[in-house]
Amino acid sequence: MYKPTNKLVFVDDTRQRIELYSPTKMPEAGSFLWNKQMMVQFNCRGYAVGQFMQPEPSKYAYAPNLEAKTFMQPEHAYYANHPGRFFYIKDEDTGEVFSAPFAPAKMSLDYFCFSAGQHDISWHIEALNISVKITVSLSESDAIEMWELTVSNLDSKARNVSIYPYFTVGYMSWMNQSADFLPELNAIVATCISPYQKVEEYFERTNLKDKTYLIADTKPTSWCCNQKVFEGNSDVSFPEGIKAETLEQINSLYEVPAAVMQYQESFKAKQSKSYRFLFGPAEHNQQIADIRDKYFGTSNLFEQEKHNYEQYIKQSSGPINIESGDTVFDQFVNYWLPRQVFYHGDVNRLTTDPQTRNYLQDNLGMSYISPQTARQAFITALSQQNQTGEMPDGILIHPDASLKYINQVPHTDHCVWLPICIQAYLNETNDISLLDELVPFADNKSTQTIKQHIELALDWLVASCDERGLSYIAQGDWCDPMNMVGYKGKGVSTWLTLASAYAINTWVDVCADYQIDINLKYSFFAGFLNQAVNKHCWEGQWYSRGISDDNISFGVGDDTEGRIYLNPQSWAILSGAVSTENKAKLLAQIELQLNTPFGTMMLAPSYTKMRENVGRLTQKFPGTAENGSIYNHAAIFYAYSLFKIGEAEKAFSVMRKMLPDDNFIQRGQLPNFIPNYYRGAFYQHPRTAGRSSQLFNTGTVSWFYRCVIEGIAGLVGNKGDLLIKPQLPNQWSKLNVIRAFNGATFNVEILKTKKVSQQTVHINGNYEASNRIANITAGKTYQVQVLLPLPPELIIIMGVSGCGKSTIGRQISKQCSYKYFEADDFHSEEAIELMAQGIPLTDKQREPWIDEMCTCLETEFIKKNDCVLAYSGLRAEHREKFRQLGFNTRFVFLDVDEQQLQVRLKNRPSHFFKEELLASQFSALQRPNDESDVFVVDANHSQASVLGQIVSYIKNGEA
Amino acid sequence: MYKPTNKLVFVDDTRQRIELYSPTKMPEAGSFLWNKQMMVQFNCRGYAVGQFMQPEPSKYAYAPNLEAKTFMQPEHAYYANHPGRFFYIKDEDTGEVFSAPFAPAKMSLDYFCFSAGQHDISWHIEALNISVKITVSLSESDAIEMWELTVSNLDSKARNVSIYPYFTVGYMSWMNQSADFLPELNAIVATCISPYQKVEEYFERTNLKDKTYLIADTKPTSWCCNQKVFEGNSDVSFPEGIKAETLEQINSLYEVPAAVMQYQESFKAKQSKSYRFLFGPAEHNQQIADIRDKYFGTSNLFEQEKHNYEQYIKQSSGPINIESGDTVFDQFVNYWLPRQVFYHGDVNRLTTDPQTRNYLQDNLGMSYISPQTARQAFITALSQQNQTGEMPDGILIHPDASLKYINQVPHTDHCVWLPICIQAYLNETNDISLLDELVPFADNKSTQTIKQHIELALDWLVASCDERGLSYIAQGDWCDPMNMVGYKGKGVSTWLTLASAYAINTWVDVCADYQIDINLKYSFFAGFLNQAVNKHCWEGQWYSRGISDDNISFGVGDDTEGRIYLNPQSWAILSGAVSTENKAKLLAQIELQLNTPFGTMMLAPSYTKMRENVGRLTQKFPGTAENGSIYNHAAIFYAYSLFKIGEAEKAFSVMRKMLPDDNFIQRGQLPNFIPNYYRGAFYQHPRTAGRSSQLFNTGTVSWFYRCVIEGIAGLVGNKGDLLIKPQLPNQWSKLNVIRAFNGATFNVEILKTKKVSQQTVHINGNYEASNRIANITAGKTYQVQVLLPLPPELIIIMGVSGCGKSTIGRQISKQCSYKYFEADDFHSEEAIELMAQGIPLTDKQREPWIDEMCTCLETEFIKKNDCVLAYSGLRAEHREKFRQLGFNTRFVFLDVDEQQLQVRLKNRPSHFFKEELLASQFSALQRPNDESDVFVVDANHSQASVLGQIVSYIKNGEA
């Protein structure tokens, strides 16, 4: 009974496992397994949702619906009795019962551990002095769940115990459903006919796997195949079937099937017994017999198949391994992240018609893990391009596939992803031959090169603009449910215009990097698009999200809902559209309006009612999905753009918040995958904000991997060389990286030190001025040391007038030996005069004052002096300016109560600041709600306590 | 605490209620309520499935699926916690809890009564010395469930009790779902956006009622809107919400909503408290506020609305009321049958595109209840006919409707129902003006008369035959899933050919009856079709069901599955195709192969695997739906055809078996509706045979009503006159009928008596030779007496040689004073010789022997002598011949064990029958498994016991 800590969740780095020690505190927490044919998401209580492919996604444990073969539903609900894989344990001597892992009996347990591994999931439960260990893995090649169960009598006396695996099958079909125990297979087999009505569907369905089996390795004492008979009049927590001495052997005849077996056992003292089960779909009984033979029969390949599956998952290892000291982050990056990237790229999210943008971005990720897969995917995608350059909404990757669901709605962004994703592939592989591959079109068999295909796509993007130079959005861009901005054919997307510019610029860069001829028009095009956005979409503090068919801009300051969207801001940075001045403005607004403790929201405030010139997005529940959740795919674009401008601290903060850590209960998820979103609407619905969607299909992970490689570690491929430009967050003083590239291995040690004033690289002990490792020899291991300058510290003590900034600032200066500055000393005489008259300063009037301070601090930076500044810092935009100075900048916000402060100010008559100004200060204050470098202190407490917290924060990074 | 008998089910005639006294023995038993906008099926345990119209069927208590807005699913399954309307009761002093009516706590109760009324459903439960009375009714005009709850402290001391209504809402939508308690409405309101993806769907859905509310008349102590929070970690049988002193007031934010309220009450000794609730869908909160005002506010119309609903259901009263002494049958015919007919006809099964055949037949039934409705329906249907005469697969009865599901699959029978259903309408109303109504076509605005429309339909039927004169089936006829017989364009339907002939003959009859000119070709056409069937489809003992595209006949003797289908046999009788000789043959085969204790199966044996030249039908589970269930719609066609040939006894037996009575537990249904089917596959799956589908949408009821009126009571309208030709089953010696017709009332007393040798009618005391009441005066009441001849009895003692026929026969003859005959006495000398040599007789050799006996018995019939005959009766076809003699014929089958009999035969050397013949007798024996007039006696017992049983049966109709 191994429980290493008193924590709720333990991330075991050695065994690469994550463990949860309560079945009640995070009821939705779980993990998922998949192979090429199937995927199952298990939660810690025993519920499970599985799908397999034939070729469309299909269920083998069913919910009672006719047409539920659609995508997985976020935060899906379970019933008390479905769908699940449960094991009841009955003490035959006392009649006591519990179920493992937890549901459906939900008895209080003596011990509980749910353990998510890379290639298996296991539970260890103890109750009634019985230990139950459960492990589930998948077969590598078949759609089979492989279960192992070990039950141990922990008592020192002999006991009689019955063990009941209960695998729910559910309502399979209204046409035909039944089940029976087949002794010759030692299996329960449930059979159905998938419902249909049109005769042509019959022929399409002749090979469906309409059977579900539970095969056991050990002959059961008894069995039952009928859910109603098994549960009886009792509750599912203690079914009638279990109250009886042995299960009633009843089949299912057009009744809801279930798979229940009973093992009536005599245990000696301390004895253990083990069982194995296989659960999955099949077409006919011979298949089931073959499976039984293969796993339990003469071949007895159960262990071998388990091993094969482990090997399969090991294919997900990526080209980078990091050691930062942040265990959750390191384990995620080293194991779970490439696993999730590989899941997307290897099985294409278990669909036959992935959305084009998903397919391309998933293969951006695969460029790092399986470049051959990515290469083929780019070719497949481009072979379905139209001659006009337009990309289809989905890529058909199975001969019987057709475009379904959202892929029947026209979206306009798919072309954008081609140069972006292919750039990552080229940088990682230097496989320039890809661009010369000849590929046909969907509507023309004659071939052109990939380069030509990409340029046709870019031409299509440029052609799909209105007279202003803004890109038409049709019924959606990257944002699917933004379907009514442009459905009449006029509406345009700010984001798509910027994304087109970025895609074109990326292509220009690729051509420059790899010395490929390129028409000069492309540089012009990108500039033209950026210019159009700046002319029509800059709204003073940030960019709008678009302009609707009826010529209404949205995502703008006048909007009470959906006032600011994240994507146009991030992509204006990527595309180069934004000016330095405007960049500070929009970064400030993101901090102010979109940032939360759980990550960056995609828009805010979330819509609470339909807006007909935006569309379906506004009908989603506030804070979910595209309606203002912390939509991680959008957030990671933001992080990527931040690395592009050297905002490592902000970028890391965005990424780090994608992993649950000290807020597990609110997240409800383990750090074993990044979900497509966490609930947003942080100010509207704080009770649910931060809760995981539990859905692990997301374009986020490819970009997260790219951000780790290109951003944090900064080890970017380029023409077969490795560029070195790491960007470490403030709290990391060092980072060790192992990077595989171009057949060689690089052991990279990155260290921050005051000894250098700019990045300094040594390769195998030799100084390398270029920050580039060229002439790499495959098979060789390189020792690389990167020294990064450790910038001086700037601590800004902020807060409204009278909160105690100066006093605290001086104390800190003394205790930490930092140079002290007082913002008030930088005011012009006019400003002091105004304030003395009780007239508050405008933002404009504050500007020269800020500039004065910055100029002074720039001088100190050059001198490498650590500084502390007492400065109100009321406006987010101004705070942003101080972050640009190069210091390791941190803010301490002295948070005080307005009433309490008034009392304090009355006792300070000498100060030029009038107490009447106080209200204006509070109204001017843009609270730093979740700026990651702001430490908020409740300054209503005693000065000593406040000071102690701050000094501790400055020294240790925490109070 | 009223419980009138010790029975499980009590049919209370005075209060027109049916009551069930156990929640466990018939867990699926329930009842249904509907109004023009909605329908809800409640089962006795508190589960409920409801739908309302907007205009398509919609849910307001949801299952977790994306597209479940389809038809109701037979024998649907429930989850432990959904969907339901539950009331938890907690004794605050002891902490004990139970739930009413039963689920989800499922505690053992002191008293339980579920009571299905015409316009409400109620429960009375007692537990913990608390009485709970629950009543649910509907509003007449709104989609609202109206609930009343009365809780009484039965104790003589004061007690503290909490009462929790728990109405599950379920997973509403993946786009948006939430719920909250709104104090100003005193209601829990759950809200969602119905999922969609295409922009055009948004505009179609702007007025959807996406809110579900639970309004209370009394302010609750507390509430909870969040299913997961309410149920907590406990089981739904004792949710955590109930363990707490008061409910945690938590809303639902994109979480599964629920509607739970709590009333924390102090009860004095013997005190009662009452509460009212409204549950239903709404578009917006103002609507909910209006509803609250209307029912509980100043208007306070709750009682009034309940009364209005009662009045609405009373519109379902029909033109006939019977009193036979069979309470279940009488109550069904007088109240529940017209109620079910009215449900179909008034709300069209709550669909917007009823299948054409359903729409027409439902209005056959409405011809008796609301002729104006039927008239308009026939006009509506014909206005959607094509100019070619072809009828569409569904009739659009709402401006926004479209053809969905099965209506997108081409069926060929719809034209058939026009003359058949319109004949019933004309007979009941004499409204010949209908035929002159001018009606347009779907594809042509110019109009033609209804008569012309009907004849176009008949012309289309005749044109849609192959060169043999057999009707093409395309992808189905009446039998929807028989979709692969003719999908290649060649396959034909025996049934449809016969149905076409019957439809044409019906039209010829209508024209003759009402003196309408008709082209002589129609009589010829009908004959031509019948002739084609006799030539190509008579298979020796019965008619085939059809001939497939690949020219294979099916429903024939060589088929091991689907060997015989009921419909072609019934309709060969109706169409007049079958000869007298063949009629006896096919009736015998129906008795042998299709009859069961639960009714007549539609085909046998049920298919167990796909047959590709029959189709989807063969994939349904054996014994369900069209694959060999007791499909009541087909069975009632059979009954109707039996009345046409005077087979009253058989016909009544078929009808009577549609009502559960002494086999409630196996049926699982109350006799308050006829389901679409009972499980068949009687020989294949005896465990489930007879189980109700619980689905009350069925064309059966219109025909059942017609059979009561035209067959049993035999009071048929004709040109405004009333024809009198009742056909009473053997066990009824009299029947009182009140018949409304042509504005007059007829009090009819039908009596069987030996005093008359043919039907004798007196009207108001005057003898009426014509059996017709003409010149009816509206408003007048007529006293009608009908005397029917009581035929002599014929008791046939049957069984294999040596079973004791002769001994028993002689004893009966003595005890009952019946004339005795011995079959052996009629054998020719040759036959006796053969048998003495141990050579069994062939069927052909038995024929002259049978004829001899029949000739003899015909003479006795004329003399009105009661007879008893000792006769082996091994062959079903031969038994059929004896039934045709006119006697009140009954069989007694002496069932013996083969081994035991061999011993007995060895002790009888004098008899000419060789014991070697015994095996051949057993193999020749076609057991009368469920011929309704065969009394089976276990003849292995002592002769005295056997004789006693038989005499009791002869005298009382039961042993």
CB atoms within 10 A of CB B15: 10
Catalytic residue among B326, B346, B480, B866: B480
When mean pLDDT is compared across A572-581, A635-644, B401-410, B908-917, the lowest value belongs to B908-917
When mean pLDDT is compared across B552-561, B581-590, B697-706, B888-897, the lowest value belongs to B888-897
pLDDT at B74: 46
Q: What angle do helix axes B943-956 and B805-816 make, rounded to 10 degrees?
A: 50
Residue B951 has pLDDT above 50, yes or no: yes
Which residues of A belong to the active site?
480
Strands (E), B139-176: 145-153, 159-168
**Residue of B174, B231, B666, B695 to mutate, interface with A, max A Cβ within 10 Å:** B174
In the structure, what pLDDT confidence band is assigned to residue A931 with cuts at 50, 70 and 90? confident
B909 vs B851: CA distance, rounded Å: 29
Residue B746 has pLDDT above 80, yes or no: yes
Residue B530, C-beta contacts closer than 8 angstroms, at least 6 positions apart = B498, B501, B575, B576, B577
pLDDT at B65: 46
Residue B878 has pLDDT above 50, yes or no: yes
pLDDT at B864: 87
With H, G, I as helix, E, B as strand and everything else as coil, classify residue B762. strand
A807-836 burial: b if 16+ Cβ within 10 Å, else e: ebbebbbeeeebebbbbbebbeeebeebbe
The average pLDDT across A695-722 equals: 96
In the structure, what pLDDT confidence band is assigned to residue A68 with cuts at 50, 70 and 90? very low
Residue A923, C-beta contacts closer than 8 angstroms, at least 6 positions apart = none
Backbone angles phi, psi at B423, to 5 degrees: -55, -45
Backbone angles phi, psi at A251, to 5 degrees: -80, -175
The whole-angstrom distance between B687's CA and the closest CA on chain A is 9
CB atoms within 10 A of CB A705: 26
**Percent of chain B scored above 70 by pLDDT?**
91
A666 vs A745: CA distance, rounded Å: 40
The answer to whether residues B38 and B138 touch, using CB atoms and an 8 Å cutoff, is yes
Between B76 and A664, the higher pLDDT residue: A664
| CB nearest to A237's CB, from B24, B235, B254 | B235
pLDDT in tens, A759-817: 999 999 999 999 999 999 999 999 999 999 998 999 999 998 888 888 999 998 998 88
Residue type, B261: M
B172 vs B258: CA distance, rounded Å: 10
Residue B644 has pLDDT above 60, yes or no: yes
> Closest Cα partner for A173 from A254, A282, A84, A71?
A254
The average pLDDT across A187-191 equals: 95
B24 vs A99: CA distance, rounded Å: 25
A316 vs B274: CA distance, rounded Å: 64
Between A826 and A83, the higher pLDDT residue: A826
B705 vs B851: CA distance, rounded Å: 38
B554 vs B695: CA distance, rounded Å: 29
Residue A911 has pLDDT above 80, yes or no: no
A288 vs A297: CA distance, rounded Å: 12
Residue A828 has pLDDT above 70, yes or no: yes
Please report which helix (H) or strand (E) contains residue B319, including its range. Answer: none
pLDDT in tens, B402-420: 888 888 899 999 999 999 9
Strands (E), A837-911: 867-870, 888-895
Q: What angle do helix axes B876-883 and B843-862 make, rounded to 10 degrees?
A: 20
Kind of pairing between the strands at A187-192 and A177-182: antiparallel
pLDDT at B668: 83
Q: What angle do helix axes A580-589 and A876-883 make, rounded to 10 degrees?
A: 120
A237 vs A518: CA distance, rounded Å: 69
Q: For chain A, what is the mean pLDDT?
A: 89
In the structure, what pLDDT confidence band is assigned to residue B509 with cuts at 50, 70 and 90? very high
Residue type, B703: W
A652 vs A649: CA distance, rounded Å: 5
In the structure, what pLDDT confidence band is assigned to residue B55 with cuts at 50, 70 and 90? low
Residue A87 has pLDDT above 80, yes or no: yes
pLDDT at A198: 87
The answer to whether residues B514 and B432 touch, using CB atoms and an 8 Å cutoff, is yes
In the structure, what pLDDT confidence band is assigned to residue A43 with cuts at 50, 70 and 90? low
B957 vs B282: CA distance, rounded Å: 56
Between B911 and B248, the higher pLDDT residue: B248
In the structure, what pLDDT confidence band is assigned to residue A71 with cuts at 50, 70 and 90? very low
Residue type, A375: R
pLDDT at B80: 74
Task: Tally DSSP H helices, then E strands, for chain A.
Answer: 26, 46
Residue B856, C-beta contacts closer than 8 angstroms, at least 6 positions apart = B821, B826
Residue type, B320: I
Tokens (6 digits) for A319:
């080209």
Residue A460, C-beta contacts closer than 8 angstroms, at least 6 positions apart = A388, A389, A390, A415
- Which residues lie across from B935 on neighbouring strands? B892
A730-754 burial: b if 16+ Cβ within 10 Å, else e: bbbeebbbbbebbebebebebbbee
Partners of A624 on chain B (C-beta within 8 Å) are 176, 254
Locate the chain B residue with the closest alpha carbon to A228: B77
A456 vs A447: CA distance, rounded Å: 13
The whole-angstrom distance between B28's CA and the closest CA on chain A is 11
SS in 3 state form for B92-141? Answer: CCCCCEEEECCCCCCCCCCEEEEEECCCCEEEEEEECCEEEEEEEEECCC
pLDDT at B4: 53
pLDDT at A150: 97
Residue B166 has pLDDT above 70, yes or no: yes
pLDDT at A63: 43
The average pLDDT across B316-328 equals: 93
The average pLDDT across B519-541 equals: 96
Partners of A59 on chain B (C-beta within 8 Å) are none
* List of long-range contacts for B132-137, beta carbons under 8 Å, 24+ apart: B132/B87, B132/B89, B132/B100, B134/B87, B134/B100, B134/B101, B136/B33, B136/B42, B136/B85, B137/B33, B137/B306, B137/B309, B137/B310
B19 vs B123: CA distance, rounded Å: 9
pLDDT in tens, A283-327: 999 999 999 999 998 888 999 999 999 999 999 999 999 999 888
Q: Edge-to-edge strand order for the sheet containing B30-34?
A: B30-34, B38-43, B48-53, B57-58
Residue type, A702: S
Between A583 and B343, the higher pLDDT residue: A583
Between A742 and B31, the higher pLDDT residue: A742
Distance of alpha carbon A66 from the chain centroid: 32
Cβ contact, residue pair B199, A615, below 8 Å:
yes
Please report which helix (H) or strand (E) contains residue B852, including its range. Answer: helix B843-862
Examine residue A909 and say whether the peptide bond preceding it is cis (omega within 30 degrees of 0). Answer: no
In the structure, what pLDDT confidence band is assigned to residue A924 with cuts at 50, 70 and 90? confident
The whole-angstrom distance between B209's CA and the closest CA on chain A is 15
pLDDT in tens, B804-845: 888 999 998 998 889 999 998 898 888 888 877 878 788 788
Cβ contact, residue pair A77, B256, below 8 Å:
yes
| CB nearest to B235's CB, from A235, A254, A687 | A235
Locate the chain B residue with the closest alpha carbon to A234: B106
Please report which helix (H) or strand (E) contains residue A684, including its range. Answer: none
In the structure, what pLDDT confidence band is assigned to residue A720 with cuts at 50, 70 and 90? very high
Cβ contact, residue pair B79, A82, below 8 Å:
yes
Alpha-carbon torsion, ordered A94, A97, A101, A107, to 10 deg: -110
**Residue of A81, A102, A197, A231 to mutate, interface with B, max B Cβ within 10 Å:** A197
| CB nearest to A256's CB, from B66, B77, B233 | B77
Question: Tokens 């406990």 map to which residue?
Answer: B234
Domains of chain B are: 9-313 (2.70.98.40), 718-789 (2.60.420.10), 793-956 (3.40.50.300)
The average pLDDT across B906-915 equals: 62
Sign of CA dihedral A293, A296, A300, A302: positive
Residue B64 has pLDDT above 50, yes or no: no
pLDDT in tens, A838-896: 787 887 888 888 889 999 999 998 888 999 999 988 888 888 889 888 888 899 999 88
DSSP state of A520: T
Cβ contact, residue pair A174, B74, below 8 Å:
yes
pLDDT in tens, A546-598: 999 999 999 999 999 999 999 999 999 999 999 999 999 999 999 999 999 99
The average pLDDT across B489-517 equals: 97
Backbone angles phi, psi at B20, to 5 degrees: -125, 135
Partners of A106 on chain B (C-beta within 8 Å) are 233-235
> Closest Cα partner for A127 from A87, A166, A180?
A87
Tokens (6 digits) for A429:
């592989």
**Residue of B86, B621, B676, B682 to mutate, interface with A, max A Cβ within 10 Å:** B621
pLDDT in tens, B419-471: 999 999 999 999 999 999 999 999 999 999 999 999 999 999 999 999 999 99
The whole-angstrom distance between B175's CA and the closest CA on chain A is 5
Cβ contact, residue pair B235, A233, below 8 Å:
no
**Percent of chain A scored above 70 by pLDDT?**
91
A39 vs A57: CA distance, rounded Å: 10
Locate the chain A residue with the closest alpha carbon to B70: A66
Sign of CA dihedral A588, A592, A593, A596: positive
Q: For chain B, what is the mean pLDDT?
A: 89
**What separation in angstroms does the CA of A163 have from each of A89, A115, A230, A791?**
5, 22, 14, 64
Residue A140, C-beta contacts closer than 8 angstroms, at least 6 positions apart = A35, A305, A308, A309, A311, A312
Partners of B688 on chain A (C-beta within 8 Å) are 253-255
Backbone angles phi, psi at B506, to 5 degrees: -60, -40
Partners of B176 on chain A (C-beta within 8 Å) are 619-621, 624
CB atoms within 10 A of CB B663: 13
B193 vs B678: CA distance, rounded Å: 38
